[in-house]
Chain A
């Protein structure tokens, strides 16, 4: 992943739609990568990957070379993605068991994963599995393994909650999924790189870096 010099501001554009955001992330995934797309919005990135980029999708329930969702007669109960949605198999696919699937993650063989998030801290901590609500049933799935294992952990999220609260925060108030693991955060209002020295802003949509910094209450590094 290359870091752009300076910040590209696009104050005249509207904030990105989910589809535009998926396409934006797809452009940053290096050709030839092995990639895991998290359950939910990140799965939409698959539709925007260039067919000739040779990107191979991993699904943690034991497959490399996952194809698009299955429809009609192609639906096979023995072939699903991590969201339990029936999918298809591409030429050159491989199957393996769960311990191997997570060993290839933890062992640093997976180039990129894209996850959703409740919160990301300015230092790259990720919270995406539990709101801490005492009535909620905790469920972590493979999120902690992906957060620690993938070489690049990209986050795809809205920058603000419906109530307007920032989701890029000085410190996560929700329970952590992983500490200091996020490489880059892609949002409807901008692209950010959290790190030990604070948050770098790489791009903005429908706003300027100064305005975003004020809304987020943080001095953004250019």
Chain B
């Protein structure tokens, strides 16, 4: 269905249900949909499974959602960072589940969901603990691991600009997981710094076509960096 433009971030996240799987864009803080997450906290859905590269930085964005106690499980590649103290505390207290997935496999599993692929074989992780219990197969002399798609009920992403058709462009490395998550969820919500009339984005430069995007909302651009993370 055609993209709708939401007036507020609260309207943009309406209808997210308890127990939903939520794909959350961003790599660290770059591309993190802060305002949509804040709205999700206000909206109140809980018992969520969150799929994201990290498990929160500092006290903002995903970390705030975790602190609010709304997340049952995190699926990510790299939870432990210098400023992931909110997640670390919950994990050590046994109050949150964790599934660690190699970063490229995380992206590809979502790509598969968005592209209608039933499952795929990848050499990544073969012979490691992350392949335990997974079906393997030798292809061209190399062991491959069978990986299944990750489909979201909702994807929350942040991007640079959208048009009224829902076409989206990103900025620099804040693109990261946005385009692949936008294909992999039933309802895709994008917060953007600017919404322009149809015709004002160069069609050649569109990264996420509007067919993938359900709701767009304009938000103020925030400039947050991870301090001292190495």
Chain A: residues with CB nearer than 8 A to chain B? Answer: 39-40, 59-63, 75-80, 83-86, 89, 95-99, 101-103, 105-106, 125, 130, 135-145, 148-149, 175-179
Q: How far is the CA of A78 from the CA of B30 in the complex (A)?
A: 5
- Asked if B100 CB lies within 8 Å of chain A CBs, one says yes
Q: How far is the CA of A79 from the CA of B110 in the complex (A)?
A: 23
A145 contacts across to B, CB distance below 8 A:
102-105, 124
Choice from B108, B127, B174 contacting A78 with Cβ under 8 Å: B174
Q: How far is the CA of A105 from the CA of B122 in the complex (A)?
A: 12
A-B contact pairs, 13 of them (CB 8 A): A78-B30, A80-B27, A84-B57, A85-B226, A97-B107, A97-B179, A97-B207, A98-B53, A99-B104, A99-B180, A106-B123, A138-B79, A179-B126
Whole-angstrom distance from the CB of B109 to the nearest CB of chain A? 10
Interface of A is mostly: loop
Choice from A139, A143, A144 contacting B79 with Cβ under 8 Å: A139
Q: How far is the CA of A154 from the CA of B100 in the complex (A)?
A: 24
Q: Give the residues from 110 to 145 in chain B that come closer than 8 angstroms, CB to CB, to chain A.
A: 110-111, 122-130, 143
Q: How far is the CA of A158 from the CA of B80 in the complex (A)?
A: 23
Chain B: residues with CB nearer than 8 A to chain A? Answer: 27-31, 53, 57, 77-81, 87-88, 91-92, 98, 100-108, 110-111, 122-130, 143, 170-180, 207, 222-226, 229-230
Is there contact, CB below 8 Å, between B176 and A97? Answer: yes
- A62 and B107 in contact, given A77-B29, A80-B28 (Cβ under 8 angstroms): no
A96 contacts across to B, CB distance below 8 A:
175
From A97, A175, A176, A177, name the one whose CB has the most chain B CB atoms within 10 angstroms.
A97
Choice from B91, B125, B127, B172 contacting A76 with Cβ under 8 Å: B172
B104 contacts across to A, CB distance below 8 A:
60, 98-99, 101-103, 105-106, 142, 144-145, 149
Is there contact, CB below 8 Å, between B128 and A78? Answer: no
Q: How far is the CA of A23 from the CA of B126 in the complex (A)?
A: 32
Is there contact, CB below 8 Å, between A142 and B30? Answer: no
Q: How far is the CA of A89 from the CA of B173 in the complex (A)?
A: 10
Is there contact, CB below 8 Å, between B29 and A137? Answer: no
Q: How far is the CA of A145 from the CA of B230 in the complex (A)?
A: 20
- A84 and B130 in contact, given A97-B207, A105-B104 (Cβ under 8 angstroms): no
Listed from nearest, the 6 A-B pairs whose CB atoms lie closest are A102-B104, A145-B104, A179-B127, A84-B28, A78-B174, A97-B179
